Chains A and B, each alone.
Chain A
């Protein structure tokens, strides 16, 4: 006997789909380059904001958004491998992939902040490092892309596998937030539909502050330290 419960809160779902869209857009803008490289940079900062939001939400969001609920501890992993895990959110393997994906995106964003393309683009924190350091971080940014790509492909294959082989639709719950679970499990888990609105606003504030800090905040700090703010462009000879 199954019952519908609310599992993924709205901020969580928004985060997921905004991240997916932003990562795809970041890839497209980077590949085309030219005028679009600046959009690539803006998307990078937005993805940073999304990541910060997710991490904060992982502590103050609703039950199934919290890391404490699904973090793949050794005991949870071994229980799962023995067929004895009975949760309703991410199972421990799914949890591992969440962490791997978040980590890969974090490295990608982190290196991107310092990157340069030797043409016209510099990441927002470029001025704080040597050019050679920036070149190395840019290189890491390029290789991490392939790690991220592999994880995303794995993620998609897993979703398809769950749909076709295990007959479990994982996309619908991430869209609607609702999932059908056996009554026995539902009773043991928090079912509230809501999430803390104040906590949501707090998460947004923290996320926005980081985004602002990295973009304008950093450049203001840099120009306070160094008088040359624009590219020298005018002279009488």
Chain B
């Protein structure tokens, strides 16, 4: 009985160990950041692109500010050495390329920051057409990184 209990505890510990540790925590933080950004991206898409009759200036401005905040929060710090392996909320899709192409990644990350900051500025003006265009540019900057350093599932 004691042996089975010990074994069960050991197995449970091993399983959770796979989900514990600084790398896994970093992966969870960055996955959460992009997930939070995704909600705000959907808000803008819905109000500015798909159903412009529902456009609410405050809501879109808040969403754009949220995306810019994510962009400016220094996410690079979460891409620690070896973090292309690990399970955060789910298995990370980071490619090892990330660590080999640091310069290019930095360039793309800065592009994202600039595009997101510009979107926040434009959102405050309430000009839906300008917002739509800049929103497209932000989307392009997201895609650029995904194409370079994220595994397609």
Residues of A with Cβ closer than 8 Å to B?
Answer: 32-38, 117-120, 132, 135-136, 138-139, 142, 230-234
Closest to A136 in B: B153
With the chains together, A233 CA to B42 CA distance in Å? 9
Residues of B with Cβ closer than 8 Å to A?
Answer: 34, 38-39, 41-47, 49, 51, 54, 56, 59, 63, 132-133, 135-137, 139-140, 142-143, 146, 152-153
- Report the number of A-B residue pairs with Cβ-Cβ less than 8 Å: 62
Asked if B59 and A234 sit within 8 Å, CB to CB, the answer is yes
Least CB distance, B107 to chain A, in whole angstroms: 17
Main secondary structure of the interface of B (DSSP, over half): helix
* Given A120-B41, A231-B39, A231-B42: A35 in contact with B59 (beta carbons within 8 A): no
Which listed residue (B43, B135, B136, B152) contacts A231, Cβ 8 A?
Answer: B43
Least CB distance, A125 to chain B, in whole angstroms: 16
Asked if B56 and A119 sit within 8 Å, CB to CB, the answer is no
Q: Can you sample 11 A-B contacts with CB below 8 Å?
A: A33-B139, A33-B143, A37-B139, A119-B142, A119-B143, A120-B45, A230-B54, A231-B39, A231-B42, A233-B47, A233-B54
Least CB distance, B130 to chain A, in whole angstroms: 12
Which listed residue (A34, A142, A231, A233) contacts B139, Cβ 8 A?
Answer: A34
With the chains together, A232 CA to B38 CA distance in Å? 12
Listed residue (A38, A139, A142, A234) with the most chain B CB atoms within 10 angstroms of its CB: A234
* Given A120-B41, A138-B153, A231-B46: A34 in contact with B143 (beta carbons within 8 A): yes
Which listed residue (A33, A136, A230, A234) contacts B140, Cβ 8 A?
Answer: A33
Across the interface, which residues of B come within 8 angstroms of A138, CB to CB?
152-153
6 extra interface residue pairs, beta carbon distance < 8 Å, beyond A35-B135, A120-B139, A231-B42 = A117-B143, A118-B38, A135-B153, A230-B54, A231-B39, A233-B54
Across the interface, which residues of B come within 8 angstroms of A34, CB to CB?
136-137, 139-140, 143
